[in-house]
């Protein structure tokens, strides 16, 4: 269900795919992240998504003007997972709230893998 906010001129409806794209691009700005992950339905493994498909690694749940985001990510080997996840959460929350005017209630980061070599 799209997010809906009210302004003095009427309603603004923002599709979940737009919020997912903002979240995916925001997460990719963080140090230590290799990319977004998507579960392959046929074999159950997670695959690294290319830049044009970042939103597939993001699930968005909206209710009125509140947003909850789930991010499935792959990180670099050697980074502190908790620090990288916290940076992703802060960046995604900040960008969604500033670009859309919606309130982000929760950002969940699911680390689906660690990439060892390039």
Query: Which residue segments constitute the domains of the chain, with CATH numbers given?
Result: 3-115 (3.30.70.1350)
42-78 pLDDT tens trace: 455 566 667 667 778 899 999 878 999 999 998 999 9
Mean pLDDT of 12-26: 91
Query: How many angstroms separate the CA atoms of 21 and 15, rounded?
Result: 10
Residue spans of alpha helices (H) in 29-109:
81-100
User: Three-state SS for 75?
Assistant: strand
User: Three-state SS for 55?
Assistant: helix
> Which pLDDT score is estimated for 117?
73
20-34 pLDDT tens trace: 999 999 999 999 998
């Amino acid at each position: 269900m799209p997010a809906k906010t009210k302004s003095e001129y009427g309603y603004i409806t923002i599709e979940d795919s737009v919020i997912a794209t903002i979240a995916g691009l925001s997460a990719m700005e963080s140090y230590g992240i290799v990319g977004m992950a998507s579960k392959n339905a046929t074999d159950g493994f997670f695959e690294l998504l290319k830049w044009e498909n970042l939103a597939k690694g993001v699930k968005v749940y909206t209710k009125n003007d509140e947003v909850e985001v789930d991010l499935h990510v792959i990180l670099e080997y050697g980074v502190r997972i908790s620090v990288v996840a916290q940076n992703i959460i802060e960046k995604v929350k900040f960008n969604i709230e500033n670009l859309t005017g919606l309130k982000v209630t929760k950002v969940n980061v699911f680390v689906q893998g660690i990439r060892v070599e390039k």
